[in-house]
Chain A
Amino acid sequence: MSALLATHGLAAFYGDFQALFGIDFAIHAGEAVGIIGANGAGKSTFLKTVTGLLPAAPERIVFDGRPIGGLPAAAIVRRGIAMVPEGRRLFPSLSVEENLLIGGYAKRAGPWTPARVYELFPALRELRALPGNALSGGQQQMVAIGRALLANPRLLICDEISLGLSPLVVQGLYQTLPAMMREGLTVIIVEQDVGLAQRTTSRLYCFQEGRVSLQGASSELTRTAISAAYFGSTAA
């Protein structure tokens, strides 16, 4: 079975600085795969490259059998990859409802409508007329997830959803994951919280200094192995 998204020897640069050194990554349709790693390990760079915010050689990133490396971000969304960006990045000039609607800008067909998102996150329904940045962190994250869902993606990427939110709120957000995956979504979850990543995904990649330092089934990776891959061999 061929992967929905695969990268082969993916490298990325910020000017002269190389941030990724040959990342091999694959996710199959219907999977939930986690990416963990310390700050600066290259997780965000990897996501930026996959979503088209950073340049890449075309054949290094293959989505649904076609090379997408280096395509403009807007074109990649139209192919079916949506991201919940780190820090949520709601549009302050837009109301909650408008923030959701703009997620559907690419006009991809699919199961997600604003009504479905309000079913998934009932708290948003009565907040729909407020500006996006008037909400609590957890509510903003709901809007950011809903916005990404309305793109009706095949692959949803969640970048650090738990950042800055209380454990209870994070738990609530992750409880909606099965409902999303029942609609046929494939999900990449980037997390600082290793335990959370292990519980919510079937496979894990650990990044360290721009390389994949460990990968395997989430339930089979031991704490020691992860710790070594996370902090580097010297710390293990």
Chain B
Amino acid sequence: MIGWIDTVLQGVMLGGLYALFAMGLALMFGVMRLVNIAHGDFIVLAAFLAIGVALGVQITPALIVLVVLPVMLAVGYGLQRGVLNRTLGKDILPPLLVTFGLSIVIQNVLLEAFSADSRSLSAGGIETQSLRIAGDLAVGWLPLLTLVAALALASGLEWLFGRTRLGRAFRATSDDPEAAALQGIDHRHVYALATAIAFGVVTVAGLFLAMRTTVAPSDGPAYLLYAFEAVIIGGLGSFWGTLVGGLVLGVAQGIGFRFDPGWGILVGHLVFLAVLLVRPQGLFPRTRD
């Protein structure tokens, strides 16, 4: 019994990481119906930027964030303003093609710069420490922090979208870009801000990923898949839904791993397919359109 509780608990912790993967993707899709195929690669890019900074100077992960975050925010804004805005229109194919191309470019640039070796980021010792809950039950500090970060980001994004002027502009532009323009909302700028914020989330995801495990330049597409599955499972109603989607995926994989170390990923995919079959709108769908 304690084994099963542990499995679910560790699955929830893993789900926190998947939720971090998924929220940036959900944000960009929610605001501008843009599926960023390079999403996973940007997570890996953020991870490698952090690893690169750590190779150069000896500073703690908390300080690395202060270096990597502004860079990624600027990359996000510039990418949307300079490239992705030009791909948006009635045709849904151009953004898919362009971000698919970006995915390949990022993988190869990282391969060139960092070689194919797997690397990771030192978390200053907390990656090996754990919090004992009861008896044999314990959670690692790092997974726990990841989950806390996911909770904090989900509530932060909900507040941003629900309570602020920028959030209203995001929702209005998502509803009807032309009517939003008639309110004085410049959709090019608003879209670029949305992508910048998504890249902020991507940075957090990349850092926690690199502290938790090793990353290699070609890992991105797998993370895109997890993010995509979490978004679909959660539905597009809210960031809480996305968080739950990540947790469901994490728990499903955890249970799969318990049966057989080869089954974890597969069980995650099967749960995703089951949700798609039974409840294609996701667990928490949009209700207002």
Binding site for B on A (CB under 8 A): 51-53, 72-75, 77-78, 82-83, 85, 89, 91-94, 98, 101-103, 105-106, 131, 133, 147, 151
Contact = CB atoms under 8 A, between A and B. Distances in A.
B171 A105 contact: no
A97 to B, nearest CB: 10
Contacts of A106: 183-184
Interface of B: 165, 168-169, 171-172, 174-176, 178-187, 288-289
Contact of A92 (B175, B178, B187): B175
B175 A82 contact: no
Contact of A91 (B179, B181, B184): B179
Contact of A93 (B165, B172, B181, B185): B172
Given A93-B289, A98-B168, A102-B168, A74 B181 contact: yes
A215 to B, nearest CB: 26
Contact of A102 (B172, B174, B178, B187): B172
B142 to A, nearest CB: 36
Given A74-B186, A82-B182, A131-B288, A102 B169 contact: yes
B172 A91 contact: yes
A172 B31 CA distance: 36
Task: Return the 6 tightest CB-CB contacts between A and B, nearest first.
Answer: A106-B184, A77-B184, A73-B181, A89-B179, A74-B186, A93-B171
A73 B182 contact: yes
Contacts of B288: 92-93, 131, 133
Nearest to A84: B182
Contacts of B176: 89, 91
B182 to A, nearest CB: 5
B164 to A, nearest CB: 11
Nearest to A108: B184
Contacts of A102: 168-169, 172, 180, 183, 185
Contacts of A93: 171-172, 174-175, 288-289
